[in-house]
Amino acid sequence: MIFNDKTVIVTGGSEGVGAAAARLFADAGANLMLVARNRKNLEAIAAELRDRTRVEIFPMDVSDADSCVDLFKKTLFEFGRIDVLVNNAGYHARGYVESITADELARTIDVNLRAPIVLMRLALPHIRDAGGGAIINVASLAGRTPVPGSAAYSASKFGLRAFTFALAEEIRDADIKLAVVSPGPISTQFILADIDKTSDLTFSQPMSTAEEVAQAILDLCGNKQRELVMPAISGILTTVTYLMPWLGRTLRPMLERRGARVKKEIKAKARGMPPENGA
């Protein structure tokens, strides 16, 4: 897909899926506004990509509504148009609800749901002015079936999917594509840096790379899919366990055992150790 002279905003654009998406959009000719809290990381990815395209950065916390307004002002000042918004920034306070502070629960909702809603609302008139475009939201398999130990995260991603689909119906006559990519575990620091707190259930599903999810984001900008679930087999599993919760409870111990083995292998590999026999 060609994005020559089009402007793409990517939140969470300093590393992981966001950085991978930025690289693909740059290769496709897009101008980029990269958003994240860490200025140093933003400057590094921007420096990498500036020999391919125009790149600007906007260090901010997406949960700050005033900063969201300033982001669009800055983007229009630099590029004169906005064609695509990728809501990728995420936050996950892992653990059972009673073990997590109220502030952490609220931040999960603020970053994963409230901020994308605010950003989508702000983006719509500008994408219309550009003649159409796309809004792609990064959801999760946790937004397709409830995940114990990730209650607020599941709620935020369920909400993000529902808002996306409802908004798509509201503006279905506009030339603006709305879609979500719902990946399972991704081999980025989002979970690997917090591996001991990440549930065994998470690691029971095949892991995608940041590049695979980034490619899905680009593909959704131009195809007719409303949601891309990856991997597909995990999408089937989440649908079945959502419709039949009793089956999810029955399968959970087996899936958690599988995930625990995978987690042990990942940790052993990180330490440069061979996996245990039978692992």
Which residues are identified as catalytic? 153
The Cα–Cα gap between 34 and 13 comes to: 5
DSSP bridge partners of 58: 35
Question: Positive or negative CA dihedral for 201, 226, 17, 78?
Answer: negative
Query: Angle CA(108)–CA(112)–CA(117) in degrees, nearest 5?
Result: 130
Helices (H) and strands (E) in the chain — how many of each? 10, 7
Angle in degrees, 0-180, between the axes of helices 151-170 and 115-129, rounded to the nearest 10:
20
Q: How would you classify the pairing of strands 227-230 and 55-59?
A: unpaired
Query: Tokens 């995978």 correspond to what residue?
Result: 262
